[in-house]
Structure 1
C-alpha cells in the first residue's frame, strides 16, 4: 500500500488556508505569520523546482537551508515530491557536507542564498545542482497531492548529535514518521488553536499535521549558546504561548532568567524537556516558572520518539538513583541487554543494561539499541544510569548517578563522571570547591568511589543540544 506522511499535512493546510500555522520572529519589527495557503504556495514552488531539476521519487536531496520558512518549504516539497530530504548534522562545515553528498549519491541540494553564493561553484564542480527555495508568496495555481510512495521508503534522513563519536544517519520511513506522529498525539493530545513554542524544528512537522500554531523562538539557530533568554521570555508573554518544548541547556537558562524576574507565566499549560537526561532540579525550577503547567520529562531518540514520558510531581525523584524517565509509552516494547546489577543505598539491587526498544514508531528493522543504559524499578518504570562508551559499573554504580547528585550542588554548571579502573574521575564546570564535591560524594556513594576531581572552564558537549557530555573528549 502506497502512502506519504505529507498527506496529513497537506489536508490540514488545505482545510485551513487562512489560518496562521507558523509565526516567525523577524530581525526588526513584529513577527510574521504564515498561513496554510502561504506554506502550500512555497512548498509547491519548491516542488516545481525539483520537477524542473528532474529529481525522481526516491532520490535523495540535501536540505542545507537555514532555519526559516524556506527550510520548511524545501523539506515538505521534497517529501511531497516523493524524494528523500537529507538534513546535515548540526554544525556541519563544507567538507562534512561534501562527504554527505558522496555517501548519499546526492545530485541536488536545497541551499540558502548565502551558501549558494559562496559555495555554488563548488557544488556544481562536484556534479551537484544547487536549488534556492523560491521566496515568492504568490499562491500556487495548482496544488498537487503528495506523491504516493512505498511506506518503508525513507521520508526523512537526519543525524544524531554525535555525543558518543561520529554523527550517524537516521532514516525514518513514511510509516515510522506517521507512527511517531500518532504516538505524540496520544501522549500529548492537541487542541484547536493550540499555540506551541517548539525549539526542536522536527516538531514543526507534527504541529502542521495536527493544526497547532508553531511560534518559533527568537533564537540564533545554529548558535543556541548565544540565545537571549530575555527576548524569548518577551515572546512567551506577547504571543500567548500555551505549550513549549526544548532541551536542558535552553530551559536551564530560560528558567534562571524567569526566576530572576519573579514573573511566572500563568498561561502556559504544558512544558516538555528532552534531548538529554533531564535533571530533577530543572523540573522543580520549571514548576515555579510555569505554575499552571504540567511539566514533562521526555526520553527518546530520533529513531524512537518518544520512549518514556514522566510528569514532574510534588515529590522529586532521588538523584542518587539516576534520571527518572517514567513509564514506557504504550505500544512500545522495551527490554535490557544486561551488563550487571545496580546497588542502591537501601539495599535494593536492579538488573542494569543497555536499553533496547521495538515497535511501530521505532526506525529499526528489529530491536533498536539506544546506547543508553538503565534499569526498571518495581513499578516497571525506566531509570537512566549510563551512556555507551562510559557504561562501566563501578561498585554497583554508573556515571549518571554520580553526575545527577552533583548537579544539585549550588555553583555546579555541568559535571561529568568517567569510569576509570575501580573508581570514577569527576570533571566539574562551575564555582564550587573540591571539599563540597567530595562531601556530597561521600554522603551518597561508597567510600573511595570517586578518586579524582578535576575542574574545567568548559566541558565538551554535543553541537546540537549543548547538553550531552562528549566523554571521549574529556581531558
Structure 2
C-alpha cells in the first residue's frame, strides 16, 4: 500500500501527492511526541483522515476509529485512556503546513501498524476489533484483483458511507490510495449530489440504506453515463432496490459480503437474481454443521473462523446464505426460528422489507417491523392496520407454529438506518416501546385541540412502575399533556407550576383516551377521558423560554 502513494497521481480532486505527503508528515509530527500509543481518531474529511491515519502509523500510534461521536461512545473511549484526535472534542490537530516534500512514504511495518475498528453493535454494544496493516493490505489486493479491471484508471471514488467503518475505510480510502485512484474527500449525503459529480468516470461506494431510496423523479442520466461501478455492503440489498439500481443506473450493483471481524468474504452482482456468493481471492470457505466457516489473509490468523451465518454449498465454488443461526428463541419450550418467519413474510407481496424480533419481558413476544409494498400500502390506506395484520397472519398460518404468530406489528414509511447505513436491531426494538401513542387529532385550533390516543400495553410507560399490575402513572399523563400541547400550539418554555391536578381513575392497557387541551398564553389546561369517564385533568403554567 505504501508503494502506490509514491506514484505521481492526484490523491483527491485538485490535491497532488506532494500536498498529501506533507499532511501525512504534519500528522506524524503531531503524534510523535505523545506518551499514549492509542489515539481515537475521527475526521469528516476523508483526505485529512487518510493523512492522519498514515501519519499515526509513521509515529507508531494505533488509531481507534469510533463509529460515532455520541457522549456515551466518547466516555467509553476516555475510560480506556485514549487521547482524541481530529474532529473529536479537544482533539489533537496537525499543523496547517502544506509544504511540498520529496521524501516519499517510508516503508511501514505491515505487522506492527494496526488500527482498531468497532462492530456495528446490531445486537449489543459495539466490540473493538484490532486489524493489522497486513490484513488490510491483503484485502485491498483482493479488491483490485477482482474489481480493478472494471474501473477506469482515472475514476473518482465517491461514497455515501463513512470511512470510520471497515467497508468505507477499505473501499473509499485504502483501495484508492493503493491503486492510484482519486477519492473525494466529502461524503455524499443526498441523492441530489449524485447528479453534480461532473463528467469524469465515477465509482460509487454505497449501502442498501441509500440504494433503496432512489427516486424515479430525479434525472439520473448524468450519473448513469459516467458510473463505472456501484458497490453495496453492510447488509442485504433488497430485491426491489437491486432492480431499481439496474433500471435507473443501467448496471447492477456489486454486493460485498463480510464483517468487521472477518473482512471481505464474497461478492455477487445485485441484479435481482439472488445468485450465490463468489468468494474473494484468497478466501477459503466450508460449511460445517450448516454454518459458514472462513479462512483468509483478512483474519488475524490462519485458523478457521466460524461465523453465525447458515449457508449451503451451491456448487461451482460458491455458496448461498440462509440467514443467521443465532436468531432462535424458545417459546413455551419450543425452538422458534425468527429467520424462518421472516423468510415467509418476505415472500408476501404486501411487504417490501421486514424484520422479525423477539421482545424481552416476563415472556418473550414476537414482533414484526415492516415497510409495506405498494400493494400493502394500498390495503393499509383502504382498510386500515388491522386488515393488513390479518392478511399477514393468514399468510403465516400453516408455515409456522401458531404460538409463533407475531403479536406486535409496526409498519414504517422507511427503514431506520444509522450513519453506516445499517439498521440496528435495538433501534427497531425501540419502535415497540414508544413513550407515547401517536395522537389522532380531531381538532386543532389556535386555543383548543382534541386528540385520541390508544394506550396499548407495549408502551414503555406501563413498564416497571407497578410490578403487580399494569397501570399508567399519573406523571406520564402530565408529560403527555405537555407533549401534545407543544405539538398543537407550538409553545416553548418550562413548567413553572401545576394547578388543580386531579387523577380520578387509573389508566389500564388498551384504553382509548381522549385528550382535550385548551391554551391561553402561559397556561395549558388538559383533560384525559375514556369510555369509563374522567382519568386526569389540571392546569400547567409555563415560563418564558430561556
Task: Normalising by structure 2, report the TM-score.
Answer: 0.64
Report the CA distance between 1:51 and its aligned residue.
2.2
- Cα distance change on mapping 1:333 and 1:441 into 2, 3 Å: farther
| Distance across 2 between alignment mates of 1:95 and 1:159 | 14
Give the alignment of 1:34-45 within 5 angstroms. Answer: 34-45=15-26
The SS at the match of 1:131 is coil
| Distance across 2 between alignment mates of 1:137 and 1:384 | 49
1:260 to 214, 217, 220: 217
Which is greater in Rg?
Answer: 2
Alignment match, 1:75: 53
Counterpart check, 1:208 vs 2:163: no
Contact 1:70–1:135 under 8 Å retained in 2? no
| Distance across 2 between alignment mates of 1:168 and 1:426 | 27
Contact 1:272–1:296 under 8 Å retained in 2? yes
Report the CA distance between 1:243 and its aligned residue.
1.9
Contact 2:38–2:64 under 8 Å retained in 1? yes
Give the alignment of 1:55-454 within 5 angstroms. Answer: 59-88=37-66, 90-103=67-80, 105-106=81-82, 108-112=83-87, 115-116=89-90, 130-140=91-101, 143=103, 145-146=105-106, 148-149=108-109, 151-189=110-148, 190-200=151-161, 201=163, 202=169, 203=171, 204-216=173-185, 218-219=187-188, 227-235=189-197, 238-253=198-213, 256-257=214-215, 259-261=216-218, 263-264=220-221, 265-291=224-250, 293-313=251-271, 316-317=273-274, 326-338=277-289, 352-353=290-291, 355-363=292-300, 366-379=303-316, 381-387=318-324, 389-391=326-328, 394=336, 398=340, 401-402=343-344, 404-405=346-347, 409=350, 412=352, 414-418=353-357, 425-430=367-372, 432=377, 433=380, 435=387, 439=391, 446-448=398-400, 451-452=405-406, 454=409
The SS at the match of 1:138 is coil
| Distance across 2 between alignment mates of 1:445 and 1:366 | 44
| Distance across 1 between alignment mates of 2:129 and 2:273 | 34
- Cα distance change on mapping 1:448 and 1:145 into 2, 3 Å: closer
Report the CA distance between 1:159 and its aligned residue.
0.7
Q: Which runs of 5+ in 2 are unaligned?
A: 164-168, 330-334, 433-546
- Cα distance change on mapping 1:13 and 1:332 into 2, 3 Å: closer
Report the CA distance between 1:456 and its aligned residue.
4.7
Report the CA distance between 1:275 and its aligned residue.
0.8
- Cα distance change on mapping 1:286 and 1:146 into 2, 3 Å: same
Contact 1:154–1:171 under 8 Å retained in 2? no
| Distance across 2 between alignment mates of 1:388 and 1:360 | 25
- Deviation sequence 1:290-337 (CA, Å, 0-9, x none): 21x342111111233321111144x623xxxxxx55122232122345
Aligned Cα root-mean-square deviation (Å):
3.3
- Deviation sequence 1:50-70 (CA, Å, 0-9, x none): 223366xxx222213334432
The SS at the match of 2:205 is strand
The SS at the match of 2:204 is strand
Contact 1:70–1:133 under 8 Å retained in 2? no
Report the CA distance between 1:286 and its aligned residue.
0.6
- Cα distance change on mapping 1:378 and 1:71 into 2, 3 Å: closer
The SS at the match of 2:225 is coil
| Distance across 2 between alignment mates of 1:43 and 1:262 | 39
Q: Which runs of 5+ in 1 are unaligned?
A: 1-7, 24-32, 117-129, 220-226, 318-323, 339-351
| Distance across 2 between alignment mates of 1:193 and 1:44 | 26
- Cα distance change on mapping 1:96 and 1:331 into 2, 3 Å: same
The SS at the match of 1:152 is coil
| Distance across 1 between alignment mates of 2:52 and 2:337 | 52
- Cα distance change on mapping 1:261 and 1:332 into 2, 3 Å: same
2:4 to 2, 6, 12: 12
Report the CA distance between 1:210 and its aligned residue.
0.5
| Distance across 2 between alignment mates of 1:284 and 1:459 | 18
- Deviation sequence 1:245-276 (CA, Å, 0-9, x none): 211111122xx22x223534122122111111
Alignment match, 1:126: none
Report the CA distance between 1:282 and its aligned residue.
1.3
- Cα distance change on mapping 1:14 and 1:143 into 2, 3 Å: same
- Cα distance change on mapping 1:462 and 1:399 into 2, 3 Å: farther
The SS at the match of 1:281 is helix
- Cα distance change on mapping 1:398 and 1:82 into 2, 3 Å: farther
1:455 to 400, 405, 410: 410
Contact 1:299–1:307 under 8 Å retained in 2? yes
Report the CA distance between 1:12 and its aligned residue.
2.6
- Deviation sequence 1:177-196 (CA, Å, 0-9, x none): 11111111112125422222
- Cα distance change on mapping 1:187 and 1:474 into 2, 3 Å: farther
Task: Normalising by structure 1, report the TM-score.
Answer: 0.73
- Cα distance change on mapping 1:381 and 1:401 into 2, 3 Å: farther
- Cα distance change on mapping 1:167 and 1:383 into 2, 3 Å: same
- Cα distance change on mapping 1:180 and 1:271 into 2, 3 Å: same
Contact 1:110–1:131 under 8 Å retained in 2? yes
The SS at the match of 2:227 is coil
- Deviation sequence 1:208-260 (CA, Å, 0-9, x none): 111111134553xxxxxxx321123322xx2534321211111122xx22x22
Report the CA distance between 1:147 and its aligned residue.
5.6
Larger RCO of the pair (alpha carbons < 8 Å, separation 6+):
1
| Distance across 1 between alignment mates of 2:365 and 2:400 | 7
| Distance across 1 between alignment mates of 2:186 and 2:204 | 10
Alignment match, 2:456: none
